[in-house]
Copies of this chain bind each other. A is one copy, B any other.
Amino acid sequence: MVFLTRRLHFNAAHRVYNPTWSDEQNEKVFGMCANKNWHGHNYELEITVYGRPNTDTGFVMDLNDLKRIVREAVIYKLDHKNLNLDVEFMKGIIPTTENLVIAMWKELHPKLLPVQLYSLKLYETPRNFVEYRGDK
C-alpha cells in the first residue's frame, strides 16, 4: 500500500460557542474564541488516500481527480465562508477543529469511493491541528 497525500487550503470565519449555554458560560469555556463578532483562520487540509499504484499509470489516484473531488465536496463550501452560518453540513455542529474534521470526512468518504480515504489532517494554525482516520 502507498499513502498519497495532497495539501489544500481554505479561509473561514467561525465562532466557537454552544447555543444552549448562556453568554457567560460560553465566555468562561471558550474565552475569546466565542467572540460574538467572529474571528477566522487560514485552514490547511492534508487529505490522504491509499492503495496499490495502478500498473498502467503508476498512480494510486490521479492528483487532479483528488483535488477536484475534494474541492467540490468540501473546499468550495468552506472557503471564504462562515462555518457557523454558511455551511450546510456544519448546521447544528459547534465548529471546533475536531467537529469540522469529522464532518468533512462524512462528506468526502463516499465521494472518493472506490478509492479509500485514510486520513484527514486539519491545521487551524501551523501549531494546532487534528487528525481523523474514520470510525476506527
Contacts and interface: CB of A to CB of B under 8 A. Distances in A.
Contacts of A27: none
B58 A96 contact: yes
Given A42-B42, A64-B31, A37 B102 contact: no
A12 to B, nearest CB: 6
A28 to B, nearest CB: 11
A69 interface: no
A129 interface: yes
Interface residues of A, number: 63
Q: In the complex this chain forms, how many copies of it are found?
A: 6
Contact of A37 (B6, B35, B85): B85
Contacts of A18: 56-57
At the interface, is chain A mostly helix, strand, loop or mixed?
mixed
Interface of A: 1-9, 11-14, 16, 18, 21, 29-33, 35, 37-42, 48, 53, 56-60, 62-64, 79-82, 85-86, 93-99, 101-102, 125-133, 136
17 contacts: A1-B133, A2-B131, A2-B132, A4-B98, A4-B130, A6-B127, A8-B127, A12-B40, A14-B40, A35-B82, A37-B81, A38-B38, A38-B82, A39-B80, A40-B40, A42-B42, A42-B126
